[in-house]
Amino acid sequence: MQKGLDLLLNKYSVKAKAVLSADGKTLAIDGKEVPVLPWESERRFIELRNLVLTGRLGNMCTYRIGHTAKKGTDLFELLAREVGILEFTVNSTAKEIFAIAGKNTMNCIVETENGCVCTIELGATLEAGQKDVDKHEIITDNGVGCDRVVDTQMPQESIYVFGKNERAFMDTDAELYGYSELQINTIRNAFATAKNADVQTANMVKWAHIQKVVAAAKVSLATLENVKVEA
């Protein structure tokens, strides 16, 4: 991913020295470590957020999130991502959470400051080689906003090749080729972060709050009670 980031930094003459961590979760900018929030550069979440901000969806009734990942995935890392997506798309921070969990699953109910109530269903049950399956659906008094085609359960590819050897491709970026969707979003967010000090500060504040939500979820799992997120 560093190669893709360097391409963008050089192409757009960004002077900051930015180095992505191997896992793409943090970015070192001139010696300062900043969290990377790839979902904020993902088109489907940007559009879902726009539907909320413009008021086209109407008043939110509930928000449903589901994400199934590979066996062995850290459910708290998965929760951090989904809380980040929730807060970004509804433009509000989580203030209270209730969580229960099994061996490879976790269910949460989260309320945000603007009154949105969200259910988050997480699982780490897929076999090696299978792609994550996720869906984000906002139900309102005026309809439904969803990041997937309504009747689609599985994420779709952008190009399908049919014939003797069936293949599928997910190249959707005009500058970054050969990367997965997550890698592209990570590179894009790292680039946006590297060139803007305000984004760097915002990412640090957002990530710190997400960690507080995850900490509250751990307390809820232990007590089986609703837990308010530390301010």
225 vs 179: CA distance, rounded Å: 42
Q: When comparing pLDDT for 188 and 129, which is higher? A: 188
CB–CB of 51/63 below 8 Å? no
Number of domains in the chain: 1
Boundaries of domain holding 171: 2-228
Quote the tokens at residue 33: 């470590």
C-alpha distances in angstroms, 224 versus 37, 74, 109, 137, 220?
30, 20, 12, 26, 5
Share of the chain above pLDDT 90, in %: 79
Quote the tokens at residue 78: 């998965």
State yes or no: pLDDT of 170 exceeds 80. Answer: no
* Model pLDDT, residue 140: 93
CATH number at residue 67: 3.30.360.10
Which residues sit opposite 138 in a β-bridge? 63, 145
CB–CB of 122/79 below 8 Å? yes
Q: Which pLDDT tens digit goes with each residue over 21-68?
A: 999 999 999 889 999 999 999 999 999 999 999 999 999 999 999 999
